[in-house]
Structure 1
Amino acid sequence: MSEACPILESEITCPRCGHVARETMPTDACQWFYDCKGCGALLKPKAGDCCVFCSYGTVPCPPVQDGSDCCSNA
Structure 2
Amino acid sequence: MILESMITCPQCGFQALETMPTNACQYFYDCKGCGALLKPNAGDCCVFCSFGTVPCPPIQADGGQGGCCSSA
**TM-score (structure 1 length as normaliser):** 0.89
The size of the alignment, in residue pairs, is: 69
| Aligned-residue identity in percent | 77
Give the CA RMSD over aligned residues: 1.3
- Structure 2: 5+ residue stretches without partners: none
Aligned counterpart, 1:31: 26
Which residue of 2 is the match for residue 3 of structure 1? none
Q: What whole-Å deviation, never above 9, does each CA across 1:16-58 have from its counterpart, x for those lacking one?
A: 0000000000000110000000000000000000000000000
C-alpha deviation, 1:73, in angstroms = 3.2
Structure 2 residue identity aligned to 1:7:
I
Q: Are 2:50 and 1:63 equivalent residues in the alignment? A: no
Q: Tell me which residue corresponds to 2:9.
A: 14
Superposed structure 1 runs of 4+ greater than 6 Å apart: none
The one-letter amino acid of 2:25's match is: C
* More helix per residue: 2
Unaligned runs of 5+ in 1: 1-5
Query: Highest CA radius of gyration, 1 or 2?
Result: 1
Partner Cα distance (2:54, 2:2) in 1: 7
Find the partner of 2:43 among 23, 48, 52: 48
